[in-house]
């Protein structure tokens, strides 16, 4: 059975510093991996996806994610955090269905 884990409930980063939000997954076949962001009282918005190819995937708002097959990880990264990046971030994996992690709250400190 597929699963996805986000080990951190909250990540605090100072504005201008690099950020990482962690995600690990388990699937039986080739993984289709996604990151979504959720702002207060809004639905989830798609950030980026990994299907195949380059292990470093670039997405919206300057975010990127690194796929690591040996560690079964798909961590979300950004070189320089903005206060406006503060939100709830969800990792998702698609095998026979789409499963979301429990979410990580990212708090960027001014």
Partner 1 sequence: EAGVAQSPRYKIIEKRQSVAFWCNPISGHATLYWYQQILGQGPKLLIQFQNNGVVDDSQLPKDRFSAERLKGVDSTLKIQPAKLEDSAVYLCASSWGDQNSPLHFGNGTRLTVT
Interacting residue ranges for partner 1, rule: CB under 8 A: 32, 34, 36, 41-46, 49, 51, 90, 94, 97-103
Cβ distance to partner 1 smaller for residue 28 or 110: 28
- State in angstroms the smallest separation of the CB of 73 from partner 1: 17
From CA 19, how far away is CA 22, in angstroms rounded? 10
Cβ distance to partner 1 smaller for residue 10 or 17: 10
Q: Rounded to 5 degrees, what are φ and ψ at 32?
A: -110, 115
- State in angstroms the smallest separation of the CB of 98 from partner 1: 7
Using alpha carbons, list the distances in angstroms from residue 87 to 55, 69, 70: 25, 27, 29
From CA 47, how far away is CA 53, in angstroms rounded? 18
From CA 101, how far away is CA 75, in angstroms rounded? 12
Cβ distance to partner 1 smaller for residue 82 or 88: 88
- State in angstroms the smallest separation of the CB of 103 from partner 1: 5
């Amino acid at each position: 059975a597929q699963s996805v884990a986000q080990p951190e409930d909250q990540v605090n980063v100072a504005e201008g510093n690099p950020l990482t939000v962690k995600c690990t997954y388990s699937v039986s076949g080739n993984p289709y991996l996604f990151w979504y962001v959720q702002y207060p009282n809004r639905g989830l918005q798609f950030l980026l996806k990994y299907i195949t190819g380059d292990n470093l995937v670039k997405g919206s708002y300057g975010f990127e994610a690194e796929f690591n097959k040996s560690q079964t990880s798909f961590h979300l990264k950004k070189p320089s955090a903005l206060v406006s990046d503060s939100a709830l971030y969800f990792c998702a994996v698609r095998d026979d269905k789409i499963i979301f992690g429990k979410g990580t709250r990212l708090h960027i400190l001014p």
